[in-house]
A and B are shown apart, each in its own frame.
Chain A
Amino acid sequence: MSENPATNNSVADLQAEGGHGAVPIAGVPTGLGAQPPGSDKWTLFEVFVRARRGLSHNHVGSLHAADAEMALHNARDVYTRRQEGVSIWVIPSTAITASSPDEKDQYFEPAADKIYRHPTFYDVPSGVQM
């Protein structure tokens, strides 16, 4: 009970991941020693929820689970218990290829001065509702 988890784990192990947000960890007993056996091998899943028909699925957070079905159940209970959604996707985080923050400039900066790509050079006929 008295053991300080910080002495047994590197700081990287204690970081909150994904949608759980930044959590202060210094000196806080995290109970990491009491995790279910094998849960360190659980997969990280990203959770996408569609709020209602007609909208697309939005990323709402992430969670660990032993398999996809458990991830779906957990996502249902954690992310949709206040009627947030009508459909859930769970996707193993490893299946997502993301652009690197380091490449932000070369990816996105060049679009900044190309205003002609925005549909703002047309006269909107009167009678068209915006």
Chain B
Amino acid sequence: MSTHRQEYVLRLGDDALVLSHRLAEWSSNAPQLEDDIALTNIGLDLLGQARSLLTYAGKLEGRSRDEDDFAYLRQESEYKSCQLVEQPNNDDFGFAIARLLFFSTYQVALYSGLTHSTDATLSAIAAKALKEVLYHREYSTSWTLRLGDGTAESHERMQQSINNVWRFTGELFEKDAVVDGLTSEGVAPDPERLSAEWNLYIDSTLAEATLDRPNVPFRAGTGRSGRHSEHLGYMLAEMQYLHRLHPGATW
């Protein structure tokens, strides 16, 4: 079922690409220069993952679309990213850290699982990316602890950010025909196992940071079927503008 596989690879690639753009938006906007560099560095790691994954998706599709075709010439409804990654930063560092903590913890579990994939390309991409996302998790964890267990104000704002991001995390572990098929083939790790690993790490991190695990229901995820919040369209407009105006532009 190579179409299922292509769909799955697109989801992973789009998640990485969209969050990479959101992290790039911190360039010159983080609270201090070093975190400017840290967040954009992490964004570049994710961009590298997106390039490998989208290139592989093109190969699986077999219609000679390359990474740029996927990144710059698809519309909002063709993007298969989850809604977590497209949410705007709103200049809120706590929000960026909370999202990165949740997403990198998911990616650590995901790529660990994928290193055992029966798909050799996916397992090679995962082995390289795992080293990157382990650092992303370490970075976001240390800021979560520092802010959560910091001053009264930093604690309150970090808790608020955790609460705001929480409802988007359920979509990371949703199952459907695509995931089920690939799980049984041994290509993709089982979302239930990923969720268990994720909850274990998040619970212990929140507890150490003296933050409460939010008691908020998950939002029904629709990103995988191409239905996004209003924010993705604006982001793509900015990201794709140059390429669409000057097709094939290089510098």
Contact = CB atoms under 8 A, between A and B. Distances in A.
A35 B138 CA distance: 24
Contacts of A73: 34, 38, 138-139, 142
A69 B142 contact: yes
Name the interface size band of chain A: 10 to 19
Given A77-B37, A77-B41, A78-B37, A70 B146 contact: yes
Interface string A66-83: 110110011011100100
A67 B147 CA distance: 13
Nearest to A72: B142
B31 interface: yes
Nearest to B37: A77
Contacts of B35: 74
B90 interface: no
Contacts of B41: 77, 81
A77 B41 CA distance: 7
B184 interface: no
A65 to B, nearest CB: 8
A39 B38 CA distance: 18
Interface string B211-222: 000000000000
A70 B37 contact: no
B2 interface: no
Interface of B: 31-32, 34-35, 37-38, 41, 135, 138-139, 142, 146
The 9 tightest CB contacts between A and B, nearest first, are: A74-B34, A77-B38, A36-B31, A77-B37, A77-B41, A69-B142, A78-B34, A73-B139, A78-B37
Given A35-B32, A73-B142, 9 more contacts: A67-B146, A69-B142, A70-B142, A70-B146, A73-B38, A74-B35, A74-B38, A77-B34, A78-B37
19 contacts: A36-B32, A39-B32, A63-B34, A65-B34, A66-B146, A67-B146, A70-B142, A73-B38, A73-B138, A73-B142, A74-B34, A74-B35, A74-B38, A76-B135, A77-B34, A77-B37, A78-B34, A78-B37, A81-B41
